[in-house]
C-alpha cells in the first residue's frame, strides 16, 4: 500500500494487497455480495437469504473480502440460539490501484553508492586491524610491530601481504560487481521508459 489519506487508499499494482483484492473480486459471486452489502450492513445468513447463495459460499467470499480489506465487521449481535453473528458492511473508502513506481537513476545510484561505501569502510577496517592490534597489544620485542613479529615467526609466508592482497582483490571485485549491477538496473529502467 502506498498511502492512505482519509478514506482514499492508494495501492501499488502488483503488491500483496492488490493481489488480495484481485482474488476477492475475481468471482462474480463476490461482486454480487459486495454490491448487496453496499446497500447496507448484513449478517452472513441475511446475505445468503437475499442473494440466494449457499451460506458456505457466502462465508467463503466474505472471508476473501475481509482479507482484501474491502469490507469490515461493523457490529455483532446474538442469534436466538445464542451464537454471535457478525454484521458485515462495505468499508467507507475509495481504493485506487496505481502503477508500480520505478526507481529513477538517482535513487539507483544512491542505493548502490551506500552499498559501495559500506564495502569500502569494511575493507578499510580489515586493513587497519593489524596496526590497531599492534598499538593495543605490545609485542615481545619493543620497537617491533605485531605485523613484523608475525611475519618473522613464519618468514616463508607473508601473512600481512596476503591479507592486504585478499582484501584488495575482494574490494575490487565487489566494486566491479556493484557497478555492473547498477548499470544493468539503470539500463533496465531506461528501457522500460
DSSP string, 2-18: -EEETTEEEEETTSHHH
Please report which confidence band the pLDDT of residue 189 belongs to, taking 50, 70 and 90 as the band edges: confident
Q: What is the pLDDT of residue 3?
A: 46
Q: Is the pLDDT of residue 148 over 70?
A: no
Q: Is the pLDDT of residue 117 over 70?
A: yes
- Burial environment of residue 174 by CB neighbours within 10 A (0 to 12, 13 to 18, 19 or more): middle
Q: What is the pLDDT of residue 63?
A: 92
The phi-psi region of residue 10 (left if phi > 0; otherwise alpha if psi is between -120 and 50; otherwise beta) is beta
Higher pLDDT, 160 or 76: 76
Average pLDDT, the chain: 81
Q: What is the pLDDT of residue 2?
A: 42
Q: Find the length of the chain.
A: 193
Q: Is the pLDDT of residue 40 over 50?
A: yes
Higher pLDDT, 134 or 167: 167
The two beta strands, 94-98 and 8-12, are: parallel
Q: How far is C-alpha 160 from the chain's CA centre?
A: 41
Amino acid at each position: 500500500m502506498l498511502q492512505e489519506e482519509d478514506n482514499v487508499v492508494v495501492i501499488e499494482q502488483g503488491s500483496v494487497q492488490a493481489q488480495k483484492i484481485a482474488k476477492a473480486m475475481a468471482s462474480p459471486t463476490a461482486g454480487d455480495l459486495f454490491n448487496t452489502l453496499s446497500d447496507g450492513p448484513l449478517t452472513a445468513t441475511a446475505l445468503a437469504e437475499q442473494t440466494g447463495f449457499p451460506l458456505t459460499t457466502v462465508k467463503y467470499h466474505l472471508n476473501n473480502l475481509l482479507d482484501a480489506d474491502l469490507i469490515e465487521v461493523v457490529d455483532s449481535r446474538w442469534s436466538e440460539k445464542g451464537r454471535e453473528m457478525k454484521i458485515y458492511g462495505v468499508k467507507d473508502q475509495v481504493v485506487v490501484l496505481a502503477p508500480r513506481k520505478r526507481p529513477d537513476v538517482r535513487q539507483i545510484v544512491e542505493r548502490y553508492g551506500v552499498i559501495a561505501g559500506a564495502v569500502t569502510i569494511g575493507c578499510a577496517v580489515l586493513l587497519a586491524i593489524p596496526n590497531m592490534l599492534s598499538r593495543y597489544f605490545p609485542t615481545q620485542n619493543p620497537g617491533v610491530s605485531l605485523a613484523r613479529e608475525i611475519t618473522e615467526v613464519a618468514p616463508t609466508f607473508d601473512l600481512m601481504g596476503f591479507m592486504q592482497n585478499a582484501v584488495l582483490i575482494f574490494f575490487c571485485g565487489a566494486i566491479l560487481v556493484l557497478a555492473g549491477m547498477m548499470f544493468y538496473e539503470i539500463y533496465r529502467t531506461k528501457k522500460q521508459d
